[in-house]
Structure 1
Amino acid sequence: MSRVNKDHRKNAEGYNDPTAFEAMKRVKDPRRQLQGKRSKVVGEYFENLISSACDYYRVQSIAHIEKTPEPMKPLKPVPRQPGRFIACFEKAAQPDYKGTIRGGQAIVFEAKHTDNDRIERGRLTQEQLDGLEKHYQLGALTFVVVSFAFQDFFRVPWTAWRDMKKIYGRKYVKAEELESYRVKATSQMILLLSGIT
């Protein structure tokens, strides 16, 4: 005589038997995985365009600009993999790049890419907004480098980004509205300091 399990979440052997919904929650969505991989590749490409410009400006003694490392806290080493560890972010991200341009002025900026026809002010975290504002108040050159589909590049002054709602009447901006902030780019770098130095 077989026993009927009264707990429907367990099978006859007593193991968990998740519903289809619970099982699907455990399966990774391939569309999300693909989007995540694409976002990572796009982000790395954008960062490489900026890093190439930073290298160029450093070699030309125009500026010394570095990518701000994400503050991470090591939690534990990865077994049998020397030099590798499991870590977590300690706090929200700071502005992406910091440095000094010739003459001694500090420079701090964030970099954002979009494949859409607009970019929203909310793409920056509150900590990034606060960081840019603090640096701006202290006299640093502050801005947001924006890429639209790797076709159009803009150096948006911090005050224009900060006051987007007041200037444009909404918390997003389209590429055509940023025309006065356009910067040139080659296949290897974004000339983000053109017109400044």
Structure 2
Amino acid sequence: MGYQRRDINRKSNYDGKFLERLIEQGCIYYEHKCLALIEKTPEPFIVTKLGQRGTFSGRFTGRAQPDFKGTLKGGRSIAFEAKFTSKDRIKQDVVTLYQSERLTYHEAMGAVVGVVCMIGRTVAFVPWSTWKEMQSIYGRRYMTEKELKEFQVPTPGYVDFLSDYHNKEKLR
């Protein structure tokens, strides 16, 4: 049983990293088009011991911030979290309390804020105003893939998470 759980965790970790790479490709696309400069936020981590063949030990030095932050053309800020699930729903609490507080603060300062998430084959940018109000909107603290489709974004080799912003400014 332990091996099955480890394999499931490994696949979920791989899928989450894959989503982040697709988002980073979107960031590169936006930068080349002079639409935005958005970067992955490094984890607060220090190396405590170097091992052989590139291995190391380390520890986290702080709480995780939102995964991506940057500036859109025109000067508006953006901050968002990236979340993948292999389940049939994405729970609101996958965003930690600290990340939630930070995203809410960015929103209050006028930034475009949300969560890029993936359920099944659906990738979406859920505005923070919707994410934080799941309970009042859906009557529960999670979204299904069907509900996520309302916020679905194109994925032409990258996550085009700003497609709605540039087309409709829907993310306000």
Q: Give the C-alpha shift of residue 84 in structure 1.
A: 5.5
Structure (1/2) with the larger helix percentage: 2
Q: Superposition pairs for residues 1-197 of structure 1, below 5 Å?
A: 29-78=2-51, 80=52, 85-149=56-120, 151-186=121-156, 188-197=157-166
In the alignment, the residues of structure 2 paired with residue 179 and residue 31 of structure 1 have an alpha-carbon distance, to the nearest angstrom, of 31
**Which of structures 1 and 2 has the larger relative contact order (alpha carbons within 8 angstroms, sep 6+)?**
2
In the alignment, the residues of structure 2 paired with residue 155 and residue 146 of structure 1 have an alpha-carbon distance, to the nearest angstrom, of 7
Which letter maps to 1:92?
A: R
In the alignment, the residues of structure 1 paired with residue 77 and residue 14 of structure 2 have an alpha-carbon distance, to the nearest angstrom, of 30
Structure 1: unaligned runs, 5 residues or longer: 1-27
Which letter maps to 2:9?
A: G
> Which shifted more, 174-183 or 136-145?
174-183
Structure 2: unaligned runs, 5 residues or longer: 167-172
RMSD between aligned residues: 1.6
Q: Give the C-alpha shift of residue 113 in structure 1.
A: 1.2
Higher CA-based Rg: 1
Which letter maps to 1:184?
A: P
In the alignment, the residues of structure 1 paired with residue 61 and residue 73 of structure 2 have an alpha-carbon distance, to the nearest angstrom, of 33
TM-score norm. by structure 2 comes to 0.89
Q: The residue matched to 1:170 in structure 2 has which SS? A: coil
Deviations 1:128-167 (A, max 9, x none): 1111011111111100011112x11111110110111111
Percent identity (aligned):
37
Q: The residue matched to 1:139 in structure 2 has which SS? A: coil
Residue 169 (structure 2) aligns with: none
In the alignment, the residues of structure 2 paired with residue 100 and residue 93 of structure 1 have an alpha-carbon distance, to the nearest angstrom, of 20
Q: The residue matched to 2:165 in structure 1 has which SS? A: coil
In the alignment, the residues of structure 2 paired with residue 84 and residue 182 of structure 1 have an alpha-carbon distance, to the nearest angstrom, of 39
In the alignment, the residues of structure 1 paired with residue 40 and residue 22 of structure 2 have an alpha-carbon distance, to the nearest angstrom, of 12
TM-score norm. by structure 1 comes to 0.79
Which letter maps to 1:69?
A: P
Deviations 1:169-188 (A, max 9, x none): 111111222333221112x2
Number of paired residues? 166
In the alignment, the residues of structure 2 paired with residue 43 and residue 74 of structure 1 have an alpha-carbon distance, to the nearest angstrom, of 23
